[in-house]
Chains A and B, each alone.
Chain A
Amino acid sequence: MHLQVSNVCKSFGHGRASKLVLDHVSFDLHSGEFLALVGRSGSGKSTVMRLIAGLDHPSSGSICLDGQPVVGPGSDRGMVFQKYSLYPWLTAAQNVAFGMELQGRSRSEVRERTGYFLEVVGLADAARRLPRELSGGMQQRIAIARALAADPKLLLLDEPFGALDIQIRESMQEFLHQLWQRTGLTALLITHDLEEALLLANRVHILAPNPGRIVRSVDVQLDRSAMPDVRLSPEFLAMREDLAKGLRALEPALPS
């Protein structure tokens, strides 16, 4: 799998009211990589994700997946949203099965894979529960299971933990890291949380706002074997501080 985003610009509106949201954004993503795009609101990070998902089209530039230009949404690029991520009328298992049913897989295959992916996200016990009976963290795990069950080449995560409490958020980050290591998935994470990006991704792009553009890219090579403690390692803290300084420099000066 090779995702190629080259010189993508996106503006909304027409004529004078037109606003440039993305300015010549380029990056690559290969199989097995975990890439994070970090930026505050207005940096166009969600727009990048929507363009890759095919839910919107770039004004100029190109997005190619394995050499084929992206023209619309498809099951090769699974997506997990922050809000309304599950169908509230379907049980957890039915939610996981949803994509596979849309794809027209056989019943026995759907049943088998649903069980497997519920197991993968550790929620086999919750199979028959409705989303409203699940915690926010469990809901997002089901949403991830549903995306993975549809067998995407690339998993797009749009602030998937943005609405969760801080403790749950941290355990979800550890969950996602383990999932990545176990399944070898390829992921693109959108977040405003620098710590989250550094913790999970092996490559981080920093986006500056107005118009959104990549101003810095870093490779992250941390020993993540002792996951919760990584957050406190001097290496991690130094890297976070360095990037945070860079992000702060992008903010307009506060009036004193």
Chain B
Amino acid sequence: MTTVELRRLLSQPWVLGLMGILGVLIVWFLSTASGAVDKLFLPSPLAVWQAGQTQWSSGILLKDALASIQRVFLGFALSAGVALPVGIAMGTNPVICRLLEPLIGLIRYMPAPAFIPLLIIYFGLEELPKVLLIFIGTVFFNTLMIMDAVKFVPRELVETALTLGGKGFPILTRVVAPFIAPQVLDTYRINMASAWNLVIVAELVAATEGLGKRISLAQRFLRTDEIFVGLIAIGLIGLAIDLGFRLLMRRACSWAN
């Protein structure tokens, strides 16, 4: 391979990323194969793969993943659904903005996991408190970021519509909504990561199934290989959701790229 070919290969965006992942895998493999690290603390890649296969064939992995995904989607859908109208209202109406911004600014700094004890007292140990935790942890960020997106709609775009005979609601749906769509999708993509963090936290505290629950069970039996399976599954699902949002954005808002 000539240097030119090598350079061209390295300039592919995914090549270096893949090399980074492979590098970590190699270091991981070598440090466990050489016996330098205790297997109890760091299981070998092979052991993790086998643990993963066992969990997959018994159906546990899928069941856990679906349980976690369902919580994330319910909580986040609720959050996204509330944040969109509230954020747009705050971005377009200064009175609503002044009314809500200090309140949201305050609550936003209360760590969502600190609400878990209250949520358990109010709603018990079922699904509802977990879904609400995700809602609480993301709705304020979603709202403020959507509000900002609305505030950055160029005045000229709205005023052009006004001078063309447009009025309130049509301007919202035909000017504001399409303009903010890419930022809203990006907001959701970014805050989805928090939703994933929170579902695991909620499951660590109390759950019968879910990827977080599996991790905390594995800890009790010192099954570090199963902990690794859980971590990798969480990472992969998160990555898939992130890529899904990016794909949706490229499809739906091609004008903004």
Whether both chains belong to one complex is answered with yes
8 Å CB contact of A55 from B162, B174, B253: B162
Within 198-238 of B, Cβ neighbours of A (below 8 Å) are at none
Is residue A85 within 8 Å, beta carbon to beta carbon, of the partner chain? Answer: yes
Contacts of A81 in B (CB 8 A): 156, 159-160
8 Å CB contact of A102 from B157, B161, B178, B253: B161
Within 72-95 of A, Cβ neighbours of B (below 8 Å) are at 72-75, 77-79, 81, 83-85, 87-89
Considering the chains assembled together, what is the distance between the CA atoms of A156 and B156 in angstroms? 13
From B159, B161, B170, B253, residue with most partner A Cβ within 10 Å: B159
From B157, B160, B178, B253, residue with most partner A Cβ within 10 Å: B160
Contacts of A130 in B (CB 8 A): 255
Beyond A88-B255, A89-B253, A89-B255, whether A53 also contacts B163 by CB under 8 A is yes
Contacts of A84 in B (CB 8 A): 154, 156-157, 160
- CB atoms of A150 and B165 under 8 A apart: yes
Closest residue on chain B to residue A149 by CB atoms:
B164
Is residue A99 within 8 Å, beta carbon to beta carbon, of the partner chain? Answer: yes
Contacts of A156 in B (CB 8 A): 163
From A72, A102, A132, residue with most partner B Cβ within 10 Å: A102
Chain B proximity mask over A122-145: 1 for CB below 8 Å, otherwise 0: 000000001010000000000100
From B163, B175, B179, residue with most partner A Cβ within 10 Å: B163
Closest residue on chain B to residue A104 by CB atoms:
B165
Give min CB distance, A50 to chain B, whole Å: 8
Is residue B45 within 8 Å, beta carbon to beta carbon, of the partner chain? Answer: no
Considering the chains assembled together, what is the distance between the CA atoms of A53 and B162 in angstroms? 9
Contacts of B161 in A (CB 8 A): 98-99, 102
- CB atoms of A102 and B163 under 8 A apart: no
Closest residue on chain B to residue A150 by CB atoms:
B164
From B164, B174, B179, B256, residue with most partner A Cβ within 10 Å: B164
Contacts of B163 in A (CB 8 A): 53-55, 73-75, 77-79, 147, 156
Contacts of A87 in B (CB 8 A): 157, 175, 178
Is residue A213 within 8 Å, beta carbon to beta carbon, of the partner chain? Answer: no
Is residue A225 within 8 Å, beta carbon to beta carbon, of the partner chain? Answer: no
- CB atoms of B159 and A89 under 8 A apart: no
Within 48-80 of A, Cβ neighbours of B (below 8 Å) are at 53-55, 72-75, 77-79
Closest residue on chain A to residue B157 by CB atoms:
A84
From B154, B166, B175, residue with most partner A Cβ within 10 Å: B166
- CB atoms of B159 and A78 under 8 A apart: no
Considering the chains assembled together, what is the distance between the CA atoms of A130 and B159 in angstroms? 20
Give min CB distance, B131 to chain A, whole Å: 34
- CB atoms of A103 and B160 under 8 A apart: no
Give min CB distance, A160 to chain B, whole Å: 12
Give min CB distance, A197 to chain B, whole Å: 22
Give min CB distance, B187 to chain A, whole Å: 18
- CB atoms of B164 and A75 under 8 A apart: yes
Is residue A146 within 8 Å, beta carbon to beta carbon, of the partner chain? Answer: yes
Contacts of B166 in A (CB 8 A): 99, 102
Considering the chains assembled together, what is the distance between the CA atoms of A21 and B164 in angstroms? 27
Considering the chains assembled together, what is the distance between the CA atoms of A79 and B165 in angstroms? 11
Beyond A87-B178, A88-B255, A89-B255, whether A103 also contacts B164 by CB under 8 A is yes
Within 137-179 of B, Cβ neighbours of A (below 8 Å) are at 154, 156-157, 159-166, 170, 174-175, 178-179
8 Å CB contact of B156 from A54, A85, A103, A147: A85
Contacts of B159 in A (CB 8 A): 53, 55, 73, 79, 81
Closest residue on chain B to residue A87 by CB atoms:
B157
- CB atoms of A102 and B156 under 8 A apart: no
Considering the chains assembled together, what is the distance between the CA atoms of A229 and B162 in angstroms? 38
Beyond A73-B159, A87-B157, A87-B178, whether A102 also contacts B255 by CB under 8 A is no
Chain B proximity mask over A173-215: 1 for CB below 8 Å, otherwise 0: 0000000000000000000000000000000000000000000
Contacts of B156 in A (CB 8 A): 81, 83-85
Considering the chains assembled together, what is the distance between the CA atoms of A72 and B170 in angstroms? 17
Contacts of B174 in A (CB 8 A): 98, 102
Those 6 A-B pairs whose CB atoms lie nearest each other, nearest first: A75-B165, A99-B164, A73-B162, A84-B156, A79-B163, A84-B154
11 inter-chain pairs at a CB distance below 8 angstroms, sorted by A residue, are A53-B159, A78-B164, A79-B160, A81-B159, A83-B156, A84-B156, A87-B175, A88-B256, A102-B166, A103-B164, A147-B164
